[in-house]
């Protein structure tokens, strides 16, 4: 178990290092720089600004400075939001994104698995059709359509919930969480349904039924593990994606998360901010993948023994 974890941590570290390097150089390959503007500014001012952000140094020196910063936990100053460091901006936006993402993934997992199981156990029953309908809606209709529709109905027409913003406590959470969870509910319920149906046909489940231990124990004790393994494999990366913020959700519901900073930063060539958020996202992705591997290894001895 310890080599299993150590190997994955080391791989995660290498991935993160590669990600940091790649982002750094790709950003610099893009035409223009943080301070290229349509409006001409005097060359002296331009040079002064660039010197302040060390953009006048050779690239290898900038890279060394950047890596040294990461190692100290300092992601540098933002070039777009003056007077703020990237650390400040992430610290400001991340809690919002984390909160919404956490609830969305929790709702998506619970509802998705429940709907999927219900569909698999009573195939072609009404729950199966309902889950299928949710699935089609959740996957086919994009967030920027379903979000405003829900705002129009629940906030404007019924007046139950705030249209957007982050100032109404838990009531601000409900709509963004629902809208963010919906496509994932759809995907997870389809996944659970098909893998459960598949597992119920497996020979070892037939053996379990032959033992006369009753349908509930056959399902929970023998079929469930195999049925949930693919779902868990999906949940890991999906959690990382959800909790690090969704630009669409944050725009539609006017939420102060890091998703918006990311797009803003990319459009304005804010090198440090783009790289900082990329690293945060990469870090979460790696952590969640390791956690996924751990859970799958814990459930499936064959994965665990492979190391």
Partner 1 sequence: MDCETPLTQMNTNLLSLHDLSVHFAHGGGQTTVVDRVSLTLGAGEVLGIVGESGSGKSQLLFALMGLLASNGNATGHALFDGQDLLSLPTKALDRVRGASLSMIFQDPMTALNPYKRIGDQLAEGLIHHQGLPRAAALAEASRMLDRVRIPDAPRAARRYPHEFSGGMRQRVMIAMALLVKPKLLLADEPTTALDVTIQAQVLDLMLEIAHETGTAIILVTHDLGVVARICDRVAVLYGGRIMEEGPAETMLSDPRHPYARGLLATTPRLEAAITPRLPTIPGAPRSGGAMLPSCPFAPRCSDKMPACDHMPPLRDIGPERRLACHLEPAP
Residue with Cβ nearer partner 1 (179 or 218): 218
* Contacts to partner 1 from residues 271-300, by CB under 8 A: 299-300
Stretch that binds partner 1, among 99-107, 152-160, 210-218, 284-292 (CB under 8 A): 210-218
**Residue 120 interacting with partner 1 (CB under 8 A):** no
**Residue 54 interacting with partner 1 (CB under 8 A):** no
Q: Which of 154, 202, 237, 294 binds partner 1 (CB under 8 A)?
A: 202
Rounded Cα distance between 174 and 169, Å, is 10
The minimum distance between CB 125 and partner 1, in angstroms, equals 14
**What does the DSSP 8-state code read for residue 141?**
S
Q: Angle of helix 86-121 relative to helix 126-140, nearest 10 degrees?
A: 150
The minimum distance between CB 304 and partner 1, in angstroms, equals 9
Stretch that binds partner 1, among 2-10, 40-48, 93-101, 216-224 (CB under 8 A): 216-224
**Residue 302 interacting with partner 1 (CB under 8 A):** yes
Q: Which of 37, 40, 72, 305 binds partner 1 (CB under 8 A)?
A: 305
166 with 92: CB under 8 angstroms? no
The minimum distance between CB 254 and partner 1, in angstroms, equals 46
Stretch that binds partner 1, among 32-40, 107-115, 154-162, 201-209 (CB under 8 A): 201-209
Locus of tokens 């060359």:
43
Other residues' Cβ atoms within 10 Å of the Cβ of residue 167: 8
Q: Which of 125, 142, 165, 214 binds partner 1 (CB under 8 A)?
A: 214
Which string of DSSP letters, residue by residue, matches 35-95?
T--SS---HHHHHHHHHHTTTTS-HHHHHHHHHHHHHTT---B-SSSTT-BHHHHHHHHHH
φ and ψ of 77, to 5 deg:
-85, 150
**Residue 119 interacting with partner 1 (CB under 8 A):** no
**Residue 7 interacting with partner 1 (CB under 8 A):** no
The minimum distance between CB 209 and partner 1, in angstroms, equals 6
CA distances in angstroms from 184 to 91, 146, 170, 189, listed in the order given: 26, 14, 21, 8
Query: Site size for partner 1, by CB under 8 A?
Result: 23
Residue with Cβ nearer partner 1 (171 or 204): 204
**What does the DSSP 8-state code read for residue 162?**
-
Q: Which of 226, 236, 245, 297 binds partner 1 (CB under 8 A)?
A: 226
Which string of DSSP letters, residue by residue, matches 210-278?
HTT--HHHIIIIIIHHHHHHHHHHHHHHHHHHHHT--HHHHHHTT---HHHHHHHHHHTT-HHHHHHHH
Q: Which of 38, 124, 203, 307 binds partner 1 (CB under 8 A)?
A: 203
The minimum distance between CB 255 and partner 1, in angstroms, equals 41
Interface residues with partner 1 (CB under 8 A) are 202-204, 206-215, 217, 221-222, 225-226, 299-302, 305
């Amino acid at each position: 178990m310890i080599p299993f974890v150590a190997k994955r941590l080391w791989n995660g570290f290498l991935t993160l290092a590669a990600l940091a390097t790649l982002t750094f150089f790709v950003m610099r390959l893009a035409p223009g720089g943080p301070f290229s503007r349509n409006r001409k500014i005097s060359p002296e001012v331009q040079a002064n600004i660039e010197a302040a952000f060390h953009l006048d140094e050779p690239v290898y020196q900038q890279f060394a400075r950047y890596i040294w910063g990461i190692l100290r936990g300092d992601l540098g100053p933002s070039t777009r939001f003056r007077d703020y460091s990237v650390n400040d901006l992430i610290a400001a936006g991340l809690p919002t994104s984390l909160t919404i993402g956490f609830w969305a993934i929790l709702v998506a997992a619970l509802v998705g698995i429940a709907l999927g199981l219900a569909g698999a156990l009573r195939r072609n029953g009404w729950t199966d059709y309902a889950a299928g309908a949710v699935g089609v809606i959740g996957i086919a209709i994009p967030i920027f359509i379903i979000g405003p529709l829900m705002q129009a109905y629940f906030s404007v027409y019924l007046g139950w919930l705030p249209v957007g913003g982050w100032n109404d406590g838990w009531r601000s959470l409900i709509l963004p969480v629902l809208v963010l969870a919906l496509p994932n509910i759809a995907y997870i319920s389809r996944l659970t349904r098909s893998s459960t149906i598949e597992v119920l046909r497996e020979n070892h489940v037939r053996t379990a039924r032959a033992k006369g231990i009753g349908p509930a124990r056959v399902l929970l004790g023998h079929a469930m593990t195999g049925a949930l393994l693919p779902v868990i494999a999906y949940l890991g990366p999906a959690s990382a994606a959800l909790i690090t913020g969704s630009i669409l959700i944050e725009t539609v519901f006017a939420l102060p998360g890091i998703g918006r900073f990311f797009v803003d930063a990319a459009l304005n060539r804010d090198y440090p901010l783009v790289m900082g958020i990329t690293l945060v996202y990469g870090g979460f992705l790696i952590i969640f993948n390791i956690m996924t591997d751990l859970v799958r290894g814990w459930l499936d001895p064959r994965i665990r023994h492979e190391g």
